[in-house]
Amino acid sequence: MPSAKQKTAIKEKSAARNASHQKFVLQSKLIDSATRIFIEVVRVGGVVLVMYYFAQAVQSLAGKNTFADIGLKILGNVRISETVAWLFGAGGVTYAYKQKKLLKRTHAQMGERIKSLEKRLDPHRTSSHLTHEGETHPEVK
Amino acid sequence: MNNIAGLVIAISTLLSFLGIWYLVMWLGRDYHVAGFRQNMFELRAELFDFAADGKISFDHPAYGMLRSTMNGLLQFGHRISLFNMIIVVSVMGGPPPDEKTFSMRWRKCTQELDGSIMAKFNDYRRRMNFLLVRQLLIGSPILFLLILPYGLAALGLAICRDQILKFLRRPIEFFDSAALVASEA
């Protein structure tokens, strides 16, 4: 049986441990909140910046200020515009391609597991004959 | 070129910029989170199969701990970012030095494991942490936008995997501990 002194020591140690744990949880939450705010500020900040220049361009069209005044000259360069448009297009195609690859991987992983689990319950389970990546089988194309 | 033609081109450039921004900051980030989760799901499935083969009990604390941490990382994968890591390193310096930390609990859980099983579990842990570091570096739109040696980071990860894991052990320890605690809450 632990003495009263030992019991107090255990209690104190436990309280200190809990306090340390609580502090850790609190710090984690604070860091998490700061990160989320930072990411949103950067995301929305970029959109606001583009919108600002967009509004300036519209105002310039309305004759309130001139094209050269508002620092849009560089954006009005055909070569720069073409390059940015190409980057956007290439980025979109790359994103779609990567998403498709990821989807195939997910199909392959989930499909195999579902198949093996269902076969345990129904050994005569029939198949759709899609490929393991969920695509049309080459023979029926 | 006249003023109007220049403005139309400028507006077109701005729209393209907006599209790129959306691709990088929203779609790209979501893609990296989904990729991270898929990699983690595959690793977790491998861990499950290892236990299902009878090499370790599903009730073993090491299995439970690793799976819980993976679940925590899966759940909070969308919050893992480079900025997060920078704050962790600069402000906190790591998790509190008590037995709640991942490493201490890991040592306790794995100390009775057979040598080959322990090696396998340490490998699972190492791979889990590698996925975390990869997500921190490659999944960061800020890093991408700054074009910090993006390719070099990937190359560095491939070549110096263990050294990077060792160098980043404090923030990794934080993420592992947070994921485990969050998952068990």
Written as tens digits, the pLDDT of chain B (185 aa) is 567 888 888 889 899 999 999 998 899 989 999 999 999 999 999 999 999 999 999 999 999 999 999 999 999 898 888 878 887 777 776 666 665 678 888 999 999 899 999 999 999 999 999 999 889 877 777 666 665 455 556 656 666 677 778 778 888 888 888 888 888 87
Partner-chain residue, chosen from B14, B42, B100, that has the shortest CB–CB distance to A54: B14
Minimum Cα–Cα distance from A99: chain B residue: B31
pLDDT at residue A68, rounded to an integer: 59
A85 touching chain B per CB within 8 A: yes
Q: Is residue B106 part of a domain?
A: yes
Q: Is residue B120 part of a domain?
A: yes
Alpha-carbon Rg for chain B in angstroms? 20
B54: left (phi over 0), alpha (psi -120 to 50) or beta: left
Q: Which residue segment(s) compose the domain that B148 sits in?
A: 26-184
pLDDT at residue B3, rounded to an integer: 73
Number of domains composing chain B? 1
Residues of chain A with pLDDT under 70: 1, 64-72
Are B10 and A50 in contact (CB < 8 Å)? no
pLDDT at residue B157, rounded to an integer: 67
pLDDT at residue B182, rounded to an integer: 82
**What is d(CA A21, CA A3) in angstroms, rounded to the nearest whole number?**
27
Q: Does the interface predicted TM-score (ipTM) exceed 0.90? A: no
**Please, what is the Cα angle at B145 between B168 and B11, to 5 degrees?**
165
pLDDT at residue A65, rounded to an integer: 66
Q: Is residue B72 part of a domain?
A: yes
The pTM (predicted TM-score) of the whole model is: 0.80
Q: Is residue B168 part of a domain?
A: yes
Q: Is residue B105 part of a domain?
A: yes
Amino acid at A84: V
Q: Is residue B21 part of a domain?
A: no
Are A17 and B100 in contact (CB < 8 Å)? yes
A52 touching chain B per CB within 8 A: no
Surface-to-core class of residue A10, CB atoms within 10 Å of its CB (0-12 exposed, 13-18 middle, 19+ buried): exposed
CB A109 within 8 A of CB B42: yes
Buried residues in A81-98 as b, exposed as e (16+ CB within 10 A): beebbeebeebeeebeeb
Are A32 and B84 in contact (CB < 8 Å)? yes
Contacts of B19 in chain A (CB under 8 A): 88, 91-92
Nearest CA distance, B35 vs chain A (angstrom): 7
CA dihedral angle for residue A75, residue A77, residue A83, residue A85, rounded to 10 degrees: 60
DSSP A135: P
Contacts of B95 in chain A (CB under 8 A): 24
pLDDT at residue A24, rounded to an integer: 77
Contacts of A71 in chain B (CB under 8 A): none
Q: Is residue B74 part of a domain?
A: yes
Which strand (E) or helix (H) includes residue B54? Answer: none
- The pair phi, psi for residue B161, each rounded to 5°, is -50, -55
Q: Is residue B4 part of a domain?
A: no
CB pairs under 8 A between A and B: 131
